[in-house]
Amino acid sequence: MGCEQWREILSAQLDGEETPAERIAVDAHLDGCTGCRDWCDRAATVTRRSRLALSGPAPAHGQRRRVVPGPDLTDAVLAALPAPRRLRDRLVFALRTGLALIGALQLVLGLAQVGRGPAAGHAHGALDTLTSGHLWHESAAWNIAVGAGFLFVAARRTPTSGLLPTLSAFVGALVLLSANDLVTGRVEPARLVSHGFLLTGYLIVVALSRPRLRPDGPAGRDHRDRPAWRLAAHDVPTATPPLRLVPPHVGSARIRDRSAA
């Protein structure tokens, strides 16, 4: 084994990273090698000096070290971050949960409607039972569709605006017709209560498709005017290209720091 390898062990020993076997072996080598003994002394001196000069005394919690203590960057970093996510995320979660419940309820109501058939008291006046029965089923199908749509929106994390045109037209028409039917006495107010779920679900879908509440919403887009550095998935420290050597003549940066300090 050459002296270079012994010196690697000596270096590890200075950091307390040598194995017990290595310690014994290197002690034996030092007994017979003045070169390595000498090197070990110098390496220890350089190490001590570096630690002292570069890291200074290390106070508890590393708050104010002597070397390069800079301004507290906490506020600057937090200010550059997207709006508080916590509140927004909670709100979105609550809305989606609510929508899922309403969707499930709507679905169950629709299915129950299919099984039950039109109630006798509900038969719409002059219509014969055949037409009335089919209209009943058609309305059940709509209830099922809307329930399924709500569940779909609640389950997805992506923007939900795709359902909006159909839902808006449906809810709008239903509200107008219900108001009309209420005035002309063609529907009991109790029947309209079930539309309340539909309306609530619709409003939640509208809220969820607002840009501020989208998962990939403007949070990431607020800072377009900032210097563009991007964070890709590989920026997480797994890939490890080597640092390139800065040649000694690239000294302007170091000089600037001298005047800045």
Residues that bind Zn ion (CB under 5 A): 3, 6, 33, 36
Which stretch in 24-32, 93-101, 173-181, 238-246 sits in contact with other proteins by CB under 8 A? 238-246
What are the Cα distances from residue 73, in Å, to 66, 76, 79, 102, 244? 17, 5, 10, 46, 27
Task: Name residues contacting other proteins, limited to 38-77 (CB under 8 A).
Answer: 39, 42-43, 46-47, 49-55, 58, 61-74, 76-77
Comparing CA positions, the residue from 197, 216, 193 lying closest to residue 205 is: 197
Binding of other proteins at residue 261 (CB under 8 A)? yes
Task: Say which entry of other proteins, Zn ion, none residue 183 contacts (CB below 5 to 8 A, set by partner kind).
Answer: none
Tokens of residue 162, six digits: 């795709």
**Partner whose binding site includes residue 128, from other proteins, Zn ion, none (CB under 5 to 8 Å by kind):** none
Which residues between 214 and 233 bind other proteins (CB under 8 A)? 229, 231
Q: Binding partner of residue 176 among Zn ion, other proteins, none, CB under 5 to 8 Å per kind?
A: none
What is the nearest approach in angstroms of other proteins to the Cβ of residue 226? 9
Distance spanning both ends of the chain, measured CA to CA: 47
Q: How far is the CB of 62 from other proteins (least distance, A)?
A: 5
229 makes contact, choosing from other proteins, Zn ion, none, with CB < 5 to 8 Å by partner type, with other proteins
C-beta closer to other proteins: residue 124 or 212: 212
Contact between 19 and other proteins by CB under 8 A: the answer reads no
**Residue 20 near other proteins by CB under 8 A:** no
Contacts to other proteins from residues 131-190, by CB under 8 A = none
242 touches other proteins by CB under 8 A: yes
Least distance to other proteins, CB of residue 14, Å: 8
In the list 21, 78, 119, 183, the residue contacting other proteins (rule: CB under 8 A) is 78
